[in-house]
Amino acid sequence: MVAADVYRLPGRIGRGGWSWYTGSAAWMYRAWIEEVLGLQIRNGQMRINPVIPGSWPGFTLNYRHGAALYAVQVENPDGCESGVAWVEMDGQRMSGDVIALDRDLVKHQVVVRMGNME
């Protein structure tokens, strides 16, 4: 829980309030999506750069851009906490870690392998 204020009145010391009524929910959501899962959308491009616990084997996420759906699978076979070894889209290895986004009605399969850049 993210509290917008923490009380210091006698009998209520340390209690928090206004947790999800404020913009804190949106900021927490954004922090998880962008900073932990690493989904970054900028100028019509997508980049996945996760920072996760090494104990996570990976995760999946779906991102919709216009009518296009990006089904993303992040793999972490070596227990890394950060770093991207390679990115594939629709079975094709990308030359970098940035994907140009489509808006057309299409479903793309994206695989991100965590590790040191190959």
Q: What is the pLDDT of residues 96-113, one digit of tens each?
A: 899 999 999 999 999 999
- Per-residue pLDDT of 48-57, as tens digits, reads 999 999 999 9
Confidence of residue 118 (pLDDT cuts 50, 70, 90): low
For the chain, list the domains and their CATH numbers.
Answer: 1-36 (no CATH), 42-118 (2.60.420.10)
pLDDT of residue 44: 95
DSSP codes joined into one string, the chain? ---SEE--STT-TT-EE-TTTSTHHHHHHHIIIIIIS-EEEETTEEEE--B--TT--EEEEEEEETTEEEEEEEE-TT--SB-EEEEEETTEE-SSSEEEPP-SS-EEEEEEEESS--
pLDDT in tens, 10-52: 888 877 766 666 677 788 889 999 999 999 999 999 999 999 9
